[in-house]
Copies of this chain bind each other. A is one copy, B any other.
Amino acid sequence: MAEARLPEPTGPMVVLIEDEPQIRRFLRPTLISQGYRIVEAVSGEDGVTQAATRQPEIVILDLGLPDMDGLEVIRRLREWTAVPIIVLSARGQERDKIAALDAGADDYVAKPFAVGELLARMRVALRHAAQSAREPTDSTFAVGDIRVDLGRRRVFVSDAEVHLTRTEYKLLTTLIRHVGKVLTHRQLLQEVWGPPYADQTHYLRVYMGQLRHKLEVEPARPRFLLTEPGVGYRLVTE
């Protein structure tokens, strides 16, 4: 396992989201010497975008970013990708670690950190990814005239952007995550609104109606957002 890695130009790609130039200057040559391809982002927004466009094998994320809460970055990424996220943070408090790990981070390394340990933890992350044979996720979803850019949270119909509210978007991405499958009323309500709402099926009717209105050509006879009477809803491709 611990074989020496020589520099190779097509190794795993890492997106490094880190605003401190000092750390970037330090990490960049180290990672490159280990054979990684590296893409740097200096803000959370940029980081999410880079992760969406480059589809890296690993994301290394500093929690202390200027523009955005680090936890928010994790959540944004986890909306559409399972890419391993290793958090770097100056805050070594237990509750920070717990919050980041529960938000979807895979590992947490407190600063100042030993670079050898970071590299070892990166190898662990790569091992996991290889094991589940997970390809880097495509950050866009498309069906018919509908296109969803999950990284940027934007939705287009026939190349015209349509605005979805937060709830509408969450409902749509939930359906996308399980595309093809029927999601029961319960599942949808729990995932989108939270467990306490598991019985408020009326919400579903209202919001499915709004989604159809915004996305379907003929909302009354939907082609993609289908009803399974008595069961739930499903998103179908073609």
Interface residues of A (CB under 8 A from B): 1-3, 82, 94-95, 97-99, 101-107, 114, 116-117, 119-121, 123-124, 128, 131-133, 135, 151-153, 165-166, 180-182, 195, 228-231, 234
Contact = CB atoms under 8 A, between A and B. Distances in A.
A151 B103 CA distance: 28
B95 A182 contact: no
B120 A182 contact: no
Contacts of A132: 128, 131-132, 135
Contacts of A98: 2, 116-117, 119-120
Contacts of A165: 229-230
A104 B1 contact: yes
A105 B103 CA distance: 22
A27 to B, nearest CB: 16
Contacts of A182: 152-153
Contacts of A107: 107, 124
A117 B97 contact: yes
23 contacts: A1-B103, A1-B104, A82-B131, A97-B117, A97-B120, A98-B119, A98-B120, A101-B123, A102-B120, A105-B124, A106-B124, A106-B128, A107-B107, A128-B128, A128-B132, A132-B132, A133-B135, A153-B181, A153-B182, A153-B231, A153-B234, A165-B230, A166-B231
A228 to B, nearest CB: 7
B114 A94 contact: yes
Contacts of A114: 94, 97
A165 to B, nearest CB: 7
